[in-house]
Amino acid sequence: MRFGTGSGVTGQCDTPGTEGPYPLMVLIPGGSLSRRGTSSQFSAMSRLYDPLVEAALREGWAVFRYDRHETPPGSRDEAQDIIDAIRAARALPDVDTRRIVLCAHASGTVFLQQAYDRAEEIIGFRALRGVILLSSRANASEAGRMAGHLLVVVGESASADEKLAGENAVRVHRESYPRWNARYLMVPGADVALCDTTTSAWRGWQGLPGSCRFSPEIPRAISELLRAASDATF
């Protein structure tokens, strides 16, 4: 489906094989990645997001994901794309708009930070059941005030500043929202984009063989958050 202004953005919604309405996870891509986690710039990035989508579907959640806009970097308001994606996803049939989780990866975490206030206004404070920041680059205080359960994931190769920001975001969130869960996960053997260097023959970004895959820890952590978000009553 196409949504948004101008030439629009391409998105898709995956649903579980059960009867709706379904709680919804909106997946915000990072870097040059498509809605499937594939990159035209880096051939090793292929269907990176599939395990995340599969984890959500197993928990009974629908997943809305979209491609980054087809304009040159810097010429598009990517925060607006997030807002457009949320509006498009909420308008779909069989979506439970009372239970929504936002999941952002890498640079997508920065764009989500920029869009957050508008996103919360559209979704509603009580309906926003959680936020997942993968390879988080978000500001600690901004991430810490995001509503619902919080999961912040960084790789072992992330900078000391990124790790500290993730830890501080969780601390701020726990102080602000003691009823909700907040978890910081540092994934051993993962690089800055959360590519698993231990099991996938991944050797970096310089055209070397191997493919980028997330550690199994990451979809497991997402499943835990979605279960908590599904059960939450506010």
Per-residue pLDDT of the chain (234 residues; tens, 9 = 90+): 555 555 567 788 999 989 889 999 999 988 655 444 444 444 444 478 889 999 999 999 999 998 765 555 555 678 998 999 999 999 999 999 999 999 999 999 999 999 999 999 999 999 999 999 999 999 999 999 999 999 999 999 999 999 999 999 999 999 999 999 999 999 999 988 888 888 655 555 544 445 778 899 999 999 999 999 998 665
d(CA 147, CA 193) in angstroms, rounded, equals: 24
Instruction: Give the global pTM.
Output: 0.89
Residue given tokens 């898709």 in the structure block: 12
d(CA 93, CA 56) in angstroms, rounded, equals: 18
Domain 2-40+47-187+218-231 class in CATH: alpha beta
- Tell me if residue 190 falls in helix, strand or coil: strand
d(CA 72, CA 50) in angstroms, rounded, equals: 26
